[in-house]
Amino acid sequence: MLPEKRRKEIVRKVNQSNRVTVEELTEEFGVSGPTIRRDLASLAEDGHIERFHGGALPASDETANGSQLRDRIQNPSGKRAIAARAVEELNNGDAVFFDTGQTTLEVAKAIPESLSLLVATNSPENAFELRESCGEVKIVGDSLRRTSDAFVGPSAESYLRKTNFDTVFLETDAIHGDGGLSVSNEDEARIKSLLCESGRHVILVADGSKLGEQSFREFATLDAIDVFVTDVQLEGRLRDLFDRSDVRVVDNQLVVE
């Protein structure tokens, strides 16, 4: 079977089964594990599926539509509430990095006019927004990913290894019950891992939909985070997880429409 046809069949099987493993696919198509993993990587890059460790899931609306969702933010009021509180962590003159994502975009929109900041980002959307409030913006990265509009690549990684930020606004696709933070793409995972190392004050901004989830590539654990700002209230074992990692939680953030 030609690779193109096999990949179409993989997408069909993933959508029908809702979850498949690499082992199942190697048996189904009679090819090696590395071949299936390359297929899954290609399909995930194009937004046809979502990967997890050892298999694949159907693409979410955000993955499937990529940048077409720019104007259709999921949970807009929650993200605005998170952003309104997150900017209170900033101080005049801070060097700040804005990770790629719709929540960090809302943070960029919420920056008070009174603050003077040195800003950098690997997101073109964030860059245009930050230009309005902060003037000059450092854009970091070599190539632009189609499905997430994130700049990634060796120059971005080199830059982040040599640069220190007062504050990093970080996003994640998933916050697992064991404290792992993960995303669907390895290139973005490397960027996020370096952001955790380069930020003196790392602020994770994520709404409740990310809690209890797991994506393909883990890039850090909660131990790398200083502050977590979210729209939902954390209770029980989940709250204990953040407390054990010494993360300051700012939860239950709401916007009155």
The secondary structure of 69-93 as a DSSP string is GTTS-SSHHHHHHHHHHHGGG--TT
CB-count burial class (<10 Å; 0-12, 13-18, 19+) for 117: buried
Cα 43 from Cα 251, distance rounded (Å): 35
Tell me what pLDDT residue 145 has.
87
pLDDT-based confidence at residue 77 (cuts at 50, 70, 90): confident
- Band (pLDDT 50/70/90 cuts) for residue 34 is confident
Instruction: Report whether CATH 3.40.50.1360 matches the domain 76-250.
Output: yes
Euclidean distance between CA atoms 105 and 107, whole angstroms: 5
Query: Between these two residues, 54 and 244, which has the higher pLDDT value?
Result: 244
Contact 82, 253 (CB under 8 A): yes
Instruction: Name the more confident of 42 and 137.
Output: 137
Q: Give the residue extent of every domain in the chain.
A: 3-59, 76-250
Q: Which residue has the tokens 């390895």?
A: 186
Helix (H) or strand (E) holding 10: helix 3-17
**CATH among 3.30.450.20, 1.10.10.10, 3.30.460.10, 3.90.950.10 for 3-59:** 1.10.10.10
Please, is 58 exposed, middle or buried when counting C-beta atoms within 10 Å of its C-beta (0-12, 13-18, 19+)? Answer: middle
Stated as kind and residue range, the H or E segment containing 237 is: helix 236-244
* Predicted pLDDT of residue 71: 39
Structure tokens at 95: 């060097």
Judge whether 206 and 103 are in contact, CB under 8 Å. yes
pLDDT of residue 73: 57
pLDDT interval class at 5 (50, 70, 90): confident
Q: Checking phi first, is residue 63 left (phi over 0); if not, alpha (psi -120 to 50) or beta?
A: alpha
Q: Rounded CA gap, 7 and 21, in Å?
A: 14
**pTM score, two decimals?**
0.74
DSSP class per residue in 130-148: HHHHHS-EEE--SEE-TTT
pLDDT for the residue numbered 61: 52
